[in-house]
Amino acid sequence: MESQKRKISPRAVAHAAVSRIEGENAYTDIVLSHYLERYELPERDRGFVTELVRGTVRWKKRLDWIVDQLFSGKKDQLPPPVRWLLWQALYQINFMKVPAFAAVNESIKIARSQKQHRWLGVMNGILRTFVRQPEAIKFPDPVRDPVLFLAVTESFPEWIVDRWINLFGQDETRVLCHANNVSPVLSVRVNQHKISMPDFADMLNQYDVLFQVSAVPGFYRITSISYDVRSRLLEQGLMTIQDESAGLPGLIAQAQPGQTIADLCAAPGGKSTHLAELMHDQGCVLSCDIKKQRVQLLRNSVQRLQLTSVFPVVADARRAPIHQADIVVLDAPCSGLGVLRKKPDVRWKKQLQDIFELQAIQQDLIESAGSLVRANGILIYSTCTVDPQENERIVEKFLCNNPDFEIVNAHTQKIPAAFVTPHGFVRTWPHKHDMDGSFAAKMIKRKQP
C-alpha cells in the first residue's frame, strides 16, 4: 500500500532486513525484495541497501569475530539487534569505505530509536576503537589453524573450508573462498527468438548501458545499467537475468527445432526457456517441477518471453508425464555451493550432511531421468555445486548402472575448452571463470545390440 511507502533512512531499512534475516533465518533475497518494495527509495539508496544487507550477511563471521575481540563482556550479553547493528557499521567502514563518522553516528541513531539506550556507549566504544586501531584485531594463526583462519578471514563455515581444503588443497581453497566473496557482474541471456545479438547490443548502447560480450554464446555481461532500463528490457521479454554457467547445459544439449525435451526440476525456468529459444520456439519442452508456486514462476517467465513451446506442469521428476524424449535435462537439487557469490546466506544454511542426503535424491532422480531418454537421445545432468560427491560421483554410478549410456565430450564450437574437463564434463569456477560454480555432463543413450 502507498501509505506503507513512507520515508525512512536506507540504513534503517537495511537493519530491518538484516534483523529479519538473522532473527527468523529467512532468505536474504526474499527479505530484501520485500523491504525494497515496501519503502520508496531512490535508485542510489536501493543500491546502498542491497550492498549493505548482502554484504553484512556474507561477511558476518568475520564481522562477529571483530565484535567479540572488542566487546569486553560475555558473548551472549550483547543483544542480537545491537550485534547486528555493529556488523552493519563495521561492514560500511571496512568494505564500503563509508566515512567512519557517518557509519558510527547513524548506527547509534538507529539503536537509540530502538530503545537500546544502555548499549549506546558500548557500541560507540567498539566502533571508535576499531576506527582508531583496526590493526589491533587478532585473527587465527594461519599456520597452526588454517581452517579457522580462512573461515574467519573469508567468512565461511569451518566445515566448508575443511572440506574444500581436503578436496582442492589449501591454496585453491583460499582463492575459491575469496572469489565467492566478490559480487558478480550481472549477466543476461538474450532472447534470440525475439532479437538478434547485434540488435540487442545496439539497444544497450542507446540506453548507455556498459557491457561486454560473454565467452558463453548468447550472453552479455553488464557492468552498469539503470533499474528502469533493466526493468524495461525484462518486461519486453528481450532478455533473462541468468548466470553464464547456467546457459552451458542448454548449449551442450544442442537442441534442434521440432525435438521433444523433458526438463525435470525445471523451475524457475531458466533452462527450459533457454532450450525453447535455442529451438526457435519450435518443438516441445515439458517443464516439470514438484512445487506449484515455483511452476507459477516458470509460467510467468514463459509468458514474459512470449514462448509457445514450453509446457509447465506440476509433477515429481520421478513420475514425469512423458514416455520418452529426445533430450532429458535434469538440473538436480543440490547443496548450491557454486552460487555463494549470488546467495550470501547459502553458506550459513547448509551442513555437511546435506551433501550426503542430497546424493541419494540425485541418484534416484538421474535414474528416473535416464529412463525417459529414447534410443540415441541425450541426457544432461547439471548442478550448481562444486562438490564432486554431487557431480562426478553421481554420473559415474549412473553409467555403471546403465551401460547403454556413454559420455559425450562437451567441447564444441560453442563451448570453450576452458569450461571442459579432461573427462568431457562442463566445470565452471568463480575464481577461474568469474561465474558461478557449476557442473554438467552430457550422455547419449546407445541402442542395445
SS3 232: helix
What is the C-alpha separation between 285 and 328, in angstroms, rounded? 10
pLDDT score, position 6: 57
What is the C-alpha separation between 303 and 15, in angstroms, rounded? 36
Contact indicator for 434, 448 with CB cutoff of 8 Å: no
Give me the helices (H) in 95-157, please: 100-113, 120-132, 146-153
Q: How much is the CA Rg of the chain, to the nearest whole Å? A: 24
Residue type, 392: E
Cell of 376: 540415441
pLDDT score, position 76: 87
pLDDT score, position 414: 85
Nearest to 350, CA basis, from 333, 332, 336: 336
pLDDT score, position 348: 98
Count Cβ atoms within 10 A of the Cβ of residue 321 and give its class: 0-12 exposed, 13-18 middle, 19 or more buried. exposed
Residue ranges of the chain with per-residue pLDDT less than 70: 1-6, 448-449
What is the C-alpha separation between 25 and 397, in angstroms, rounded? 35
Q: Which domains does the chain have, with CATH numbers?
A: 2-136 (1.10.940.10), 146-179 (no CATH), 244-445 (3.40.50.150)
What is the C-alpha separation between 436 and 48, in angstroms, rounded? 23
Q: What is the pLDDT of residues 236-279, one digit of tens each?
A: 999 999 999 999 999 999 999 999 999 999 999 999 999 999 99
pLDDT score, position 1: 39
